[in-house]
Every structure is written in structure tokens, then in C-alpha cells.
Amino acid sequence: MNAKEYSPELSTLPGTPEAAAHAAGRSHPHESARAQVAGGATYVDDIPEVRGTLYAAPILSSVAHGRLRGVDAAAALAMPGVRDVLLADDIPGDRLLAAFSHDEPVFAFDTVQHIGQVVGVVVAETVMQARRAARKVVLDIEPLPAVLSPRQAHAAQSYVLPPVTVRRGDPERALRDAPHVLSGTLEVGGQEHFYLEGQVAYALPLEQNQWWIHSSTQHPGEVQHWVAHALGIDNHAVRVECRRMGGGFGGKETQAGHLAVWAALAARKTGYPVKLRLDRDDDFMVTGKRHPFAYDWRVGFDDSGRITALDLTMLANCGFSADLSGPVADRAVFHADNAYFLSDVVIRSYRCKTNTQSHTAFRGFGGPQGVIVIEAILGDIARHLGHDAFDVRMRNLYGITERNVTHYQMQVEDNILQPLLSRLEQTARYRQRQAAIKAWNAAQPVMKRGLAITPVKFGISFTATLFNQAGALVHVYTDGSVQVNHGGTEMGQGLNTKVAQIVADELGVPFHRVLVTASDTGKVPNASATAASSGTDLNGRAAQFAARNVRDNLASFVCGLDGCGAGAIRFEDGRVISPTRTRSFDEVVGMAYANRIQLWSDGFYRTPKIHYDKHTLTGRPFYYFAYGAAATEVVIDTLTGESRVLKVDILHDVGRSINPAIDIGQIEGGFVQGMGWLTTEQLVWNDKGLLSTHAPSTYKIPATGDIPEHFKVDLWPEPNREDNVFGSKAVGEPPFMLAISVYEALRDAVAAARGAHDKAQPLQLEAPATAENVLRALGRLPAH
């Protein structure tokens, strides 16, 4: 189903205009699409620079772990155009970043903890002068032993945060009593964000020690706090603005703050505005990735394949500091069930400290690392029993009235898994294709195909309850045009477009009359990060409430003119309609202004129902679940290990879509990004701790040629059962996990090639399933 075909029931919702006037529910183009195509959309590096602007470049550690005994910047300072060098001693505020764990230095001092850690910055008159000079700074580092893998860290009990255990039932007894028991391990790699616009910040000193920071960030409020903390000033003296990012994917949730702090410190010391933009190689070396995970598991199950017990250990490679590793690892625990009821289970989560970049948020935020392990386990159970993997998955699904409570004690109230999967089974012709693939594989000695359907059940809300709040401002001007500002950030995902649609409907004005402006800490303070797939849920609702306040003011004014109740006033199609008269919205606004009626308002929203004990990892951390499923067919070459995705059929639950075109784009993009994580995007650190894959020449994201010719996306036709804005559901992260069907299809193809060999043992295929890892799974290359 494409966006043009999608036509949800446009019934009137409380507080919205009649169906005919809806902006929401339609595929309006992205609000910046024309400007982006024409090269007229401004990113941080496009902002005209103030006279005297200087440029900074980072000084990077070349050692994974060591004592920093000295820094010799003489050669750098002697180079043309170089103005200054900043080190830890130049920081007027705290030398540690204002992160939650307070464990990461602004600039390395005393020790360095990974190759690429920033020791300081060089400031010069041009970008290239700064970068060349940064490479001339000599670091005196005494090497120390480095920990480079999560298993090595776990053996040494090297952790950034304490371990966490979640338990339900008696898994030890259930394992002893299980008719069948399997055990295995799994290694899943990380992923580089590879946003098109790299990390960048531009710091401008203003009068009286005030600051204006342009930052490519998903969290302007945190950048504000970090900069103020490093400068030793109050938050109110720092204003952070972000009109848009050229992609974020989680990589600009916390780690954009580093560049803003470095640029602001340089600007403070030199007295001039400073811009800092990392080149792609430095971006790779400095910033964190998706957390690599290692797993050990033991599962008990019955003759039908239903799980009766699970003992799971997760080792999260967090890098050298905590960053967001705590909530990332927590969400991996929350999603280790994916769509399946686990009666007796223990999950142990270790947050391992290694001498690599500090890993951070990435689309899915630990969810993919939880989902993949249970899907791999179910695939192994099916092969062990000789059952169809789809049937085994269906037998383990959450129920409606029983088997419907998660291992963290949240009841699954909105379960649509069984009907959604059954529909995809039919529309993707799963049974017929499985039979055809079996016949094809029997006739092909070299090329083998595989097919898999995997679901997703993804919880929507920040697991840290305090972040589930948002604010917005709506201004109606005397000509009837509308301006909106909210705390969310636009990174290409269409947030501002959806917010404009929601506000247009609330005021009953055409979509083109609403303008959403840059995220700005000077307008909406204390805003949460645009993350956890909740950008529209939070900011859209806050903007709706703000617009509703203005509409109510206008309705009260008109009812006084026409002698009717305010509830009888309707706003639709740019008109304000009372029982006795119809006026244009612009006319009513002009009259209201003349009568001193307030034409602007704020709005605030806090997600209801959620609660969560971070110590026990129990409660209701999520407002609702978003569901989906994908059927993926692949082919592998058993001689070279190469693979290709042939066909993808997706059925995904976005609730009542605010913008079908944007939602389908998010589904397609999320799936392809997940496909890259599990097939081609391999991060390789050598035995010295150097990230060897630090450029597009060695790190391969999916290209246009990797997109399957058959790529079909349908939307599940049901509104959100919770009271969410427009009846919609979040769509940013859940589709990413649909790509786990690619991984399971590849394992299906490998199993077809191996035949009955080692059928009783789990099939070992490391992710990403590169050609080398496929050959290892086939037994044609030795294991690591």
C-alpha cells in the first residue's frame, strides 16, 4: 500500500474540526522538501559566519589506554594562522561533562581511554589550518593495558555501571524440567550512525557573558546545560538553536554536546566566535556507535517449540564511559521478549567498560539488541525440532487474556500480534513461497535461498519517566498566519510537518498557513531529547494543546458576538462558523485583536499512565506498544558468502497515520538501516584498539543497489487504542527491528546449505552477516 492509496477513516475526534478540513491523515510533502532539493535549507555549516570567526579542530589520542604525561603544542602554535591551543587546564568550569554519570572528561587529562579521545583543540583562522596543526601536537602517553571486548571486560569485572538482573518465576527449575534444552552464544556488532551532516557546532559570544550556540543536536536543552556547566555560568546565559539536522539516529542525542562545549570553550578563550565541524574520519574516531552486544543463553522448550524457561546473559560493550549505556542496556532487557511470553526467565545485563569510543543512543536504543537474541533462539528451536520457524513464533506470542504480562510486570493491553502476523502470512504468500524455496534449494548446489517472518513489539516512551513531557508555543498573527515553536528537533523525520498538520486541524486553517520554527532553548525551556520515537507524541500533543487554548479564546469571543455557547463554534476550512454566521478565520483574528483577545498560548503535555522502578526494572515504562512484521527472502552464494535481499513484505502498525507518506518513508528507511546493521556495516577494532573501519572506503552502509526490487509496505488499519495525538503511533524506531527478518532469513539459507549437519546445535552466524561471517557459518572459514 503506498501513501496515495492510504485513506484512513477521517472520523471527527474530540477537539478537532470536521473530517473535510483535516490536514492530518494526508500525505503533505515534508515542510522542508522543496528547500532541501533546491539547496535552500540551512544547516549549521550554512549559517553565514560572523566576521572574525575562527575554526577549531580536535587533538586526538593515538593510544587506547595510557597515562597522559604531557602535551607539546609548540609546533602547532608556530604554524600559519594558528591562534591558540586549548587543553583541560583552560576549562573555567567543571573538567567533567555534565553527563548523568559524571564520568567523562571534557578533554582527557591524566589518562587517555580510547584511540580518538579528544585531548584538546587547536584554534586557527581556517578549517584546514586548524586540522593540520592538530596533527602536529605531540602527546606523551605511557601505554597501559587496554580492554577491547565485552567478554574481556566481563572477565575482568570492568563495568561503567552496576549489573542488573530481572527475574520472573523459577527459570532454574523450569530448565531442569524442560523436555528440550538448547544453549548457545551470539555476537552482534555495533553500527556507525553515518548521518549525512556530520557533528558540528558554532559558538558565538554575546554581551555580558551570554552565549548563542548553533548546534546540530537532538537535545538543545542538554547542550545548553553542558555548555553552561563547562563555562561555569547559569543555564539562562546560554541559548541553543537548531533549525534542522542532516540526520541524527541517536548519534546527536548526547554527543552533539561535546562539540558545542569544545567550540564554546575555544570562543571564550579567544574572544571570537568559533566553529567546530568534524571531518568524517574524525567523526568515526571520536563519537560512539550502537552498542555491540555478546550473549550467552540457555533455553528450555516443549515439543511444540513453546519456551518454558530462559536464562539469558547480555554483555553490552559500552566503551570507556557510561553515556546512555544504562537506559540502552535497560531497554535491551525490556525487549528481550520481543513479541513472546516468557513464563520463567532470568536476564542478567552487564554494562561493560572497554577502551573504545563511548557508545551511545542509536535508533532502537537497545531494543534491537534485545529483539535479535530472542528471534535467534526461536529460529534455533525450530530447526532443532524440525518445525517451521513461523509456527514456533506464533505459538510463543503474547495472549490476549492470559500469557499477557511481560517479564517486567507490564500488561500487554493492545495486542494485535496474532491477526497482524496472520494477515502478513497470507498477503506475503508465506506457505507457497516456503514450498517453492525448498524445491529451488534442492535443485541448486551453490545458491541457497531463505525466508523468514519476524514480528516486533516496541514500547513507546522514555524509560526514564521524567523525560515524557513537552512544551510548545503557538502564535496567531493578525493576518491569520500561525507560527509554532516546540521543544522537538527536526532531523529529516518529518516532525515539524506532522506538528504543523496537527495545529492546522486544531485551528481549522489550511496547512500552508502554519509555520514551525527552529528549536530554541530561549522559547521552550527544559525540553527532552527528540528520541525514543516520541517526538510527535509529546511535541505534537503539546502544540495541539497550545493551539486549543488560542481556539478556545477565539470561540469565547465569537460566542459573545453571536449569542451562543462556545461549544457551538466550529473551526474548519479557514472559517469560523457559529449557528448564526460564518466568518473567515483571518477576519475573526483581526476582530479579536481589536478587542484585546490573547492570540498566543503555551501548551504542555505529560504522558499519562507510565511508572517505572529503575532499581527493579518493573512497572509500566511504556504508554503503548507499536507492532509490525516483515517477511524477507534472501539468497546466499555458498562459495563466496555473498548475500542479497530479494523480497520484503512489511505490515506495520502506525495507528491512525498523521502523514502516510512520511510514515512509509520512515518504515522503509528504518528497515534498510536495520538491514545494513545486520549485513554490511561492520565495525572492526584492531588489537591496538584502533577503529580500522573509519571511512566510507571501509565501512559500508546500504546503497541503492542493495534495495530489493520487491519492497512492499502496508499499514495496519487501526487507530492507537490509547489516547494519543490523532490516534497515531510512533514510527521512528520500531521498523528498524523488522530487518531482523533479514538475519533470520540468512540463517534459514545457511541451514538449507548445511542440511542436517549439526541440526541439534544452534546455528552460529555472527552479525553483521558479512560474506566472511556467512562463510564461517557454513563451516568454510574457521571461527574467530
Give the pLDDT confidence score for residue 4 in this predicted structure.
Answer: 36
**Catalytic-labelled residue, pool 31, 718, 733, 744:** 733
Q: Is the pLDDT of residue 523 over 90?
A: yes
**Could you give the 3-state DSSP secondary structure of residue 101?**
coil
Cβ neighbors of 264 (< 8 A, separation 6 or more) are 201, 203, 211, 213, 227, 230, 231, 238, 274
Per-residue pLDDT tens digits for 241-280: 999 999 999 999 999 999 999 999 999 999 999 999 999 9
- Could you give the CA distance from residue 682 to residue 666 in angstroms, rounded to a whole number? 23
Give the pLDDT confidence score for residue 5 in this predicted structure.
Answer: 39
Give the pLDDT confidence score for residue 8 in this predicted structure.
Answer: 39
Residue 733 appears among annotated catalytic residues:
yes
Output phi, psi for 266, to 5 deg.
-65, -40
Confidence class of residue 115 from pLDDT cuts 50, 70 and 90?
very high
Q: Is the pLDDT of residue 295 over 80?
A: yes
Give the pLDDT confidence score for residue 614 in this predicted structure.
Answer: 86
Q: Is the pLDDT of residue 784 over 80?
A: no
CB 650 within 8 A of CB 735: yes
Give the pLDDT confidence score for residue 759 in this predicted structure.
Answer: 64
DSSP 245-274: -S--TTTTTSTHHHHHHHHHHHHHHHSS-E
Task: Tell me the C-alpha to C-alpha distance, in Å, between residue 773 and each of 30, 187, 751.
Answer: 39, 11, 14
Per-residue pLDDT tens digits for 4-47: 334 333 333 333 333 445 899 999 999 999 999 999 999 999 99
First to last CA, the chain: 43
Cβ neighbors of 509 (< 8 A, separation 6 or more) are 480, 482, 571, 574, 585
Per-residue pLDDT tens digits for 725-770: 999 999 999 999 999 999 999 999 999 999 865 666 799 999 999 9
Give the pLDDT confidence score for residue 1 in this predicted structure.
Answer: 42
- As a whole-number percent, the residues of the chain with pLDDT over 70 amount to 97
pTM equals 0.96
Give the pLDDT confidence score for residue 783 in this predicted structure.
Answer: 85
Residue 297: enclosing H or E segment and its boundaries?
Answer: strand 293-301
Give the pLDDT confidence score for residue 758 in this predicted structure.
Answer: 60
Output phi, psi for 658, to 5 deg.
-70, -40
CB 3 within 8 A of CB 664: yes
Give the pLDDT confidence score for residue 15 in this predicted structure.
Answer: 38
User: Which region, left, alpha or beta, applies to residue 243 given φ > 0 means left and ψ of -120 to 50 means alpha?
Assistant: alpha
Q: What is the mean pLDDT of residues 163-188?
A: 98
Per-residue pLDDT tens digits for 129-173: 999 999 999 999 999 999 999 999 999 999 999 999 999 999 999
- Could you give the CA distance from residue 246 to residue 262 in angstroms, rounded to a whole number? 21
Q: What is the mean pLDDT of residues 119-127?
A: 98
- Could you give the CA distance from residue 334 to residue 365 in angstroms, rounded to a whole number? 11
Q: What is the mean pLDDT of residues 509-536?
A: 98
- Find, among 704, 695, 697, the residue nearest to 672 by Cα: 704
Q: What is the mean pLDDT of residues 355-361?
A: 98
